Chain A
């Protein structure tokens, strides 16, 4: 009886949604990516421009805001669908281009192929995603709908099989749902890769009638934005996963823990929750079944350590986010002392797809020990920065050179920093390491939550290690002595090295020793992984550390204290004055013979003159160690 009514309930929702979307497709629609990344690139201006042009021309077309497609390098982006034409995506938009697109495409039926980036469906005119290397390697499971549906309208998601998994699950027994998730071998995407099924089972078995499910969206890694992008682009898939999990473990309450730095994600999730309640997908007797469940949003307050489970729970209880000793695990005693399941946004995102298509389908992607896909925020010195989803087992080389299309400006690859502040830097020799939880761990890095930064020859590895350590040192909650003081000591040593104040090679041994001790003596994963960036750079780039210490030289010419700026007289044009104007401290002056020179006592090493010097001269150079300057100056005389 219950099963029939649940299915009927869902079908009603589905047919209504399909009807709405079909009627939408009858008219031209402009879809604009307005996730935070798009907005940063000026998507709001583009949206207004489109609206203005369309109303100005009296057209019957709609402008809809969508999330992020993952092509951040080409923002602001818009997709234009018009009946009778292939749906096309346009990148690098500006107001002039908007005018042209409205005039030529929407009014005059010329799709302006010269500005199009890619077509969404196969056609005879224009290549689609699968015709580009990126499309060949990418396989989208959780980002499938991101950027193509309106996150603030639940019907868009329902039309694409959304909530079908929930309808199916509600007709199954909770044990069957759990068995399916266990069979899929889904591993938590928060970084550690703990099997989700095992976690759920422990919570299900735990005693008590009150249980909680929490979605961890406290994405604090600098340079990672996968969770934000998913919540801003397709919040319903996460909600559906959360409800399915609650049904499987018998939870009574659910929470989203979202960083307050993500206001747009919070807003969109709240809207989505409200719409789900209105459709009977949340609240009492979901889809006509006897299952009751609701979700609330809790805003995190910006503490990196709160990504750790016990710290997150403490913070939700109104305390400082300080991790606790485990066991007891959260699955037996979590939020308010009740059994709690805590999973990452991406983990919940996989759940509806697994339930709809089955565990075997899920296992057909990726590697046997890490099935499924990996989502990365690909940033740094890479041509096509953005959000990518590739099957587990893809090598770093494929990810950087095929999906990301390599390093811009003919620079040489130096390293890839993977896993954020808890991860490590892998050198060129590790480029063929397959991406999965275990292989990365072996190489010294870790999956982390998915930040991936490409470094080229202009990046100083000591500086990068120092940057990440500075971050973890600041974010250390202070509970464990090794993490609190050890990271500080390490940071001091690294500071000295980058400032050229460290002359003993033995300090590298101290660094190593401290790192090992911090790993052993810390309670939570923040401390246990904090030394990773230093350890991996020491392992693979020891020569750079040695150059800093022994020669006082920064090979990448980035450590401020170890370089000087110098204007090469043989290249300097006497007629050009650009550098003089560019200097914020008036350190550059014109000598009697007309050449320019830098007054070193005034120079703040801001790099402005180097950027300002016209490329035909390229007269400003960086010297390291700074003593080279004297040589150069004596040559002059």
Chain B
């Protein structure tokens, strides 16, 4: 699950095959990026200091860890289990029992499709299908570049503008596949724009100036 060295102390050992099974359930454990390990340890230690280390505080601790890191890395769960002095499998069991906890890092942009009754009835599934098609992932997964993650959520409480999609905390009402395309396009153009602007500043800026001077000279 985690790269290399920690395996001796690791209480949760997940074989590649198990990982593959989890992957199929949308609960795959992604490999840690460089430097991520230190960040996790630092945050978890800080959080554990704030709580009395008994089982009753387990859920609040997990909630805070997820609040800070965005998900529950295996490493964090092991550390928490040790601190509370319970088997790591109990922590892992709890994290997989409750819907709130996620074991894979969220994407940079989170897309949540509402599947409350009202949304389902007027095409929530259609919106979800469209996102799955566009992003090429299933619900509960994150794209490989960690840019987008897709989730289905229970009612977000805006049944009057169903079907609803929450994109990075912005609520989009009455979503159709066309709107899905629009949302994705706006992400693409945004990143393209940023790229272009950067390039423009660095290179084209000078060229444009040169062109302008040339034109000016021709007129005269």
Q: Which chain A residues have a beta carbon within 8 Å of chain B's beta carbons?
A: 35-37, 39-41, 72-73, 75, 220-225, 228, 260-261, 298-299, 301-303, 315-321, 377, 379-381, 385-386, 417, 420, 451, 453, 455, 459, 464, 467, 477, 582, 584-585, 604, 606-608, 611-612
- Return the contact of A315 from the options B59, B63, B177 (Cβ within 8 A): B59
Cβ A261 vs Cβ B60 within 8 A: no
Q: In the complex, which residues of chain B have a beta carbon less than 8 angstroms from the beta carbon of A379?
A: 117-118, 159-160
Question: Does B148 count as interface, using CB distance less than 8 angstroms?
Answer: no
Cβ A36 vs Cβ B156 within 8 A: yes
In whole Å, how far is A375's beta carbon from the nearest beta carbon of chain B?
Answer: 15
Cβ B164 vs Cβ A40 within 8 A: yes
- Return the contact of B155 from the options A224, A320, A477, A611 (Cβ within 8 A): A224
Name which of B36-44, B120-128, B204-212 contacts chain A. B120-128
Cβ A320 vs Cβ B94 within 8 A: yes
Question: Does B199 count as interface, using CB distance less than 8 angstroms?
Answer: no
Q: In the complex, which residues of chain A have a beta carbon less than 8 angstroms from the beta carbon of B160?
A: 37, 41, 72-73, 75, 379, 385-386
Instruction: Report how far A162 CA is from B129 CA in the complex, Å.
Output: 49
Contact mask B147-178 → A, CB, 8 Å, 1/0? 00000011111111100100000010100111
In whole Å, how far is B192's beta carbon from the nearest beta carbon of chain A?
Answer: 21
Cβ B157 vs Cβ A225 within 8 A: yes
Cβ A37 vs Cβ B55 within 8 A: no
Q: In the complex, which residues of chain A have a beta carbon less than 8 angstroms from the beta carbon of B157?
A: 35-37, 40, 225, 228
Instruction: Report how far A380 CA is from B160 CA in the complex, Å.
Output: 8
Question: Does B69 count as interface, using CB distance less than 8 angstroms?
Answer: no
Instruction: Report how far A225 CA is from B162 CA in the complex, Å.
Output: 15
In whole Å, how far is B207's beta carbon from the nearest beta carbon of chain A?
Answer: 36
- Return the contact of A223 from the options B57, B58, B117, B164 (Cβ within 8 A): B117
Instruction: Report how far A611 CA is from B174 CA in the complex, Å.
Output: 12
Q: In the complex, which residues of chain A have a beta carbon less than 8 angstroms from the beta carbon of B110?
A: none
For the side of the interface on B, what is the size category? 35 or more
Question: Does B93 count as interface, using CB distance less than 8 angstroms?
Answer: yes
Name which of B4-12, B13-21, B97-105 contacts chain A. B97-105
Task: Check A320/B97 contact, CB under 8 A, given A261-B153, A301-B59, A451-B117.
Answer: yes
Q: In the complex, which residues of chain B have a beta carbon less than 8 angstroms from the beta carbon of A318?
A: 54-59, 94
Q: In the complex, which residues of chain B have a beta carbon less than 8 angstroms from the beta carbon of A41?
A: 158, 160-161, 173
Cβ A223 vs Cβ B159 within 8 A: yes
Best-surrounded residue of A223, A299, A455, A459 (most CB of chain B within 10 A): A223
Q: In the complex, which residues of chain A have a beta carbon less than 8 angstroms from the beta carbon of B73?
A: none
- Return the contact of A319 from the options B54, B55, B123 (Cβ within 8 A): B55
Instruction: Report how far A451 CA is from B59 CA in the complex, Å.
Output: 28
Best-surrounded residue of B57, B93, B97, B157 (most CB of chain A within 10 A): B157
Instruction: Report how far A303 CA is from B186 CA in the complex, Å.
Output: 34
Question: Does B130 count as interface, using CB distance less than 8 angstroms?
Answer: yes
Cβ B181 vs Cβ A584 within 8 A: yes
In B63-89, the 8 Å CB interface with A consists of: 63
Question: Does B116 count as interface, using CB distance less than 8 angstroms?
Answer: yes
Q: In the complex, which residues of chain B have a beta carbon less than 8 angstroms from the beta carbon of A377?
A: 159
**Closest residue of chain B to A73, judged by CB?**
B160
17 contacts between A and B (CB under 8 A): A37-B157, A40-B161, A228-B157, A260-B63, A260-B100, A299-B63, A302-B99, A302-B100, A315-B59, A321-B97, A380-B117, A385-B160, A453-B121, A584-B133, A606-B126, A606-B177, A607-B126
Instruction: Report how far A417 CA is from B94 CA in the complex, Å.
Output: 33
Q: In the complex, which residues of chain A have a beta carbon less than 8 angstroms from the beta carbon of B173?
A: 40-41
Q: In the complex, which residues of chain B have a beta carbon less than 8 angstroms from the beta carbon of A451?
A: 117
Cβ B133 vs Cβ A222 within 8 A: no
In whole Å, how far is B24's beta carbon from the nearest beta carbon of chain A?
Answer: 16
Task: Check A467/B120 contact, CB under 8 A, given A40-B156, A260-B63, A606-B177.
Answer: yes
Cβ A299 vs Cβ B60 within 8 A: yes
In whole Å, how far is B52's beta carbon from the nearest beta carbon of chain A?
Answer: 12
Q: In the complex, which residues of chain A have a beta carbon less than 8 angstroms from the beta carbon of B1?
A: none
Instruction: Report how far A16 CA is from B126 CA in the complex, Å.
Output: 55
Besides A321-B98, A379-B160, 18 new A-B residue pairs in contact (Cβ under 8 A), listed by A number: A36-B156, A37-B160, A72-B158, A73-B160, A221-B155, A222-B115, A301-B99, A315-B59, A317-B56, A318-B56, A379-B159, A385-B118, A459-B121, A467-B117, A477-B97, A584-B130, A584-B133, A584-B177
In whole Å, how far is A321's beta carbon from the nearest beta carbon of chain B?
Answer: 7
Instruction: Report how far A261 CA is from B156 CA in the complex, Å.
Output: 8
Task: Check A606/B130 contact, CB under 8 A, given A41-B160, A75-B160, A380-B118.
Answer: yes
In whole Å, how far is B90's beta carbon from the nearest beta carbon of chain A?
Answer: 8
Instruction: Report how far A453 CA is from B130 CA in the complex, Å.
Output: 25
In whole Å, how far is A604's beta carbon from the nearest beta carbon of chain B?
Answer: 7
Instruction: Report how far A108 CA is from B5 CA in the complex, Å.
Output: 74
Q: In the complex, which residues of chain B have a beta carbon less than 8 angstroms from the beta carbon of A228?
A: 157
Cβ B59 vs Cβ A222 within 8 A: no
Q: In the complex, which residues of chain A have a beta carbon less than 8 angstroms from the beta carbon of B63?
A: 260, 299, 301
**Closest residue of chain B to A455, judged by CB?**
B121
- Return the contact of B118 from the options A39, A223, A608 (Cβ within 8 A): A223
Q: In the complex, which residues of chain A have a beta carbon less than 8 angstroms from the beta carbon of B123?
A: 607
- Return the contact of B116 from the options A222, A319, A607, A611 (Cβ within 8 A): A222
**Closest residue of chain B to A381, judged by CB?**
B121
**Closest residue of chain B to A232, judged by CB?**
B157
**Closest residue of chain A to B95, judged by CB?**
A301
Q: In the complex, which residues of chain B have a beta carbon less than 8 angstroms from the beta carbon of A321?
A: 97-98
Cβ B97 vs Cβ A303 within 8 A: yes
- Return the contact of B177 from the options A222, A420, A464, A608 (Cβ within 8 A): A608
Instruction: Report how far A377 CA is from B117 CA in the complex, Å.
Output: 11
Q: In the complex, which residues of chain B have a beta carbon less than 8 angstroms from the beta carbon of A223?
A: 116-118, 155, 159
Q: In the complex, which residues of chain B have a beta carbon less than 8 angstroms from the beta carbon of A604?
A: 129, 133
Q: In the complex, which residues of chain B have a beta carbon less than 8 angstroms from the beta carbon of A40?
A: 156-158, 161, 164, 171, 173
Q: In the complex, which residues of chain B have a beta carbon less than 8 angstroms from the beta carbon of A72?
A: 158-160
**Closest residue of chain B to A37, judged by CB?**
B157
Instruction: Report how far A73 CA is from B177 CA in the complex, Å.
Output: 24
Cβ B155 vs Cβ A222 within 8 A: yes
Instruction: Report how far A584 CA is from B126 CA in the complex, Å.
Output: 12
Q: In the complex, which residues of chain A have a beta carbon less than 8 angstroms from the beta carbon of B159?
A: 72, 223, 225, 377, 379-380, 385
Q: In the complex, which residues of chain A have a beta carbon less than 8 angstroms from the beta carbon of B97?
A: 303, 320-321, 477
